[in-house]
Structure 1
Amino acid sequence: MRAHRARTTVVTAVAALTVSLLTAGGACATETRDETPDEAPTTSAPATGPGQATPPGAFSEPAGLEELSAGWSMPWGADWLPDGSALYTERDTHRVVHLAPDGTRTVIGTVPDVVHGGEGGLLGLAVSPGFATDRTLYVFHTAAGDNRIARLTWDGDTLGGYETILTGIAKASIHNGGRLAFGPDGHLYATTGDAAVPRLAQDPAALEGKILRITTDGDPAPGNPFGTPVYSLGHRNAQGLAWDDEGRLWSSELGQNTWDELNLIEPGANYGWPECEGVCGREGFTDPKETWSTAEASPSGLAYADGSLYMAALRGQRLWRIPVEGTDTGTPQAYYQGEVGRQRTVLSTPSGDALWLSTSNGPGGDAVHRVTLQ
């Protein structure tokens, strides 16, 4: 099992298309915004972008919010264990924490080689689909020279066996991406930011500004569009991954100064950054299904439950519910605006009748909340 940097040469036709796309549009504006709270969120009506009217049919919606566990320090990644409890990462402390449904919290260990700073640190976490037998979990973290994906084992007592499976993803103080999730196909998906070098998002041979799809050994998953870890490109700083009940992949993405995005992800599709932010309307680029002003969203985590996507907003300090029917989205609705602060990660419970929602307000000031769906 080897760590490696995947920088595979892509076929000439793909490279030529990329050059064409890079030269077709004007240069983007200088970077001025990241996910930190630079001003109070606005209270204007939602900007819903290109979505359709709310589809017919009954959908569950949030019916109650209660604090499950307090005293956290920047919880970031999370995933379920087979028994219905969950594991969380803390970005700056490098800790992995077990959280039981009754709110009992236990630190199970720290991840080695993590270097935090800015938006980097210990980020995404995904539990192996075979955890009951292999006891393996995967993390995305910032190291001294790069971002990387690693695996560890937890036997219920000891967190150990650290081993990198994919290295060489460029790091920066902003735009590290970092979400990890296993798809219905059993492969591991990861979001990467552009590392504050926007042109990398349009380079199909680069790992940055992408959604990656890899095996549990870190190799390109079979069927990837370019024969590399790259699954889709043209992303600025995607931080949410969720599959609907038909197996379609959705992703939430932090925009620059104007538009944040919800995208329906297709293999090999180009989502436009940095040639466009929000709706592009140009051949060769795939437009988002929904957009929001950055003050209303700045999204991170994403989950799916009973016909709707739920998107956690950082600067927007609210939970967005977006009905989904097929490939169409309905009118987004906002919940809990300003009630718990900046919202980072949202999980749909295995039973599907609730969400676990974590905040990102600062060291010692964060919590995990339970949102009842009805």
Structure 2
Amino acid sequence: MDISAIRKQFPILHQQVNEHPLVYLDSAATSQKPQSVIDAIAKYYSEYNANVHRGVHTLGSKATDAYEMVREKVQRFINAQSTEEIIFTRGTTTAINLVAQSFGRSNVKKGDEIVLTQMEHHSNLIPWQQVAKSTGASLKYIPLQSEGTLSLEDVAKTVTERTKIVAITHVSNVLGTINPIKEIARIVHEKGAVLVVDGAQSSPHMKIDVQDLDCDFFAFSGHKMCAPTGIGVLYGKKEWLERMEPVEFGGEMIDFVGLYDSTWKELPWKFEGGTPIIAGAIGLGSAIDFLEEIGMEAIEKHERDLIEYAMERLSNIEGITIYGPNKQKQRSGVLSFNIDEVHPHDVATVLDAEGIAVRAGHHCAQPLMKWLNVTATARASVYLYNTKDEIDRLAEGLVKAKEFFTDVF
């Protein structure tokens, strides 16, 4: 990978923040956008802005073709069997809620079990809490190992014949833990349950093959993978999607509407009520082109090298605690940490003064914070445009933060 050439394609990176060159280490929250994605969105709005599917005029036809072509790109990007299995949503949260509201409420009853982990983002936790409350099902949690990983033995013990749904993150947004989804899917299906995967932190960083993973549902967001905000994808196996009812009703998703009853379009459009996120989808298609030109394998290797380097640099700073797996094969491009006696918000503030953007807080994972016995962490997350020099800047900034608060207190 030519990182210098890649960085040149991201206009936002070439600026000063607080009189320092920007170091953006918050891609787990949202990634930056290459010029090609920005241009693709601008071209849609300036050359063929129109609504899709129902218009027969030239602009409408062009917009529809462009929109549906992105569905084909997404199908290939995650290796789904059919475009019918690709539902456009507003993001991972909307996609998981769709599964919970449609599939969950129809297939879970009192006495059934929904299995989660304590490392889940709130978006893959709260929807299942609500399903359990409304159906009388119980929630169970696969225990975490000391480094924040999962044991397949524990998965097999926790998932039983009463389990209907297992909802799990592919990669933890706090620990960086990469969960063994393919092996978990085998256990889940042996017990007759369905596997829902939160892919928000995996799809931007590694090659995804939903058929190989054998998950039943897979949700991800565009804005974490160089696409705009407001666009996401729900993949679902066709056999499940065909049985599910829509949760949003209105234009675009209907076939026939009468005064007292209506029917729905076929897949995938029955789940896409209202005017879709056309510009967002077009931006997502451009982002997929960009990522595939570089190569997902190359991106994953680059991030692993960066995180390994970052763990080495930060581990040499006295008073820093790093959370998550030590083995690089178990970790993605996320590094959460704390400095002894310094609140992570204060750490982030000092780093920002140095032009370094990191995240601080509970990262929408409060149960995991409780498991870690902390209220919050600082989090640096890398992507294809980050460099080892930026990791050095991070380490230097953390030393400054530590020295500043040591002197103050």
With the shorter chain as reference, the TM-score category is under 0.3
- Flag the structure with higher strand content: 1
- Flag the structure with higher helix content: 2
RCO comparison, higher one (Cα < 8 Å, 6+): 2
Rg comparison, structure with higher value? 2
TM-score where L is the length of structure 1: 0.25
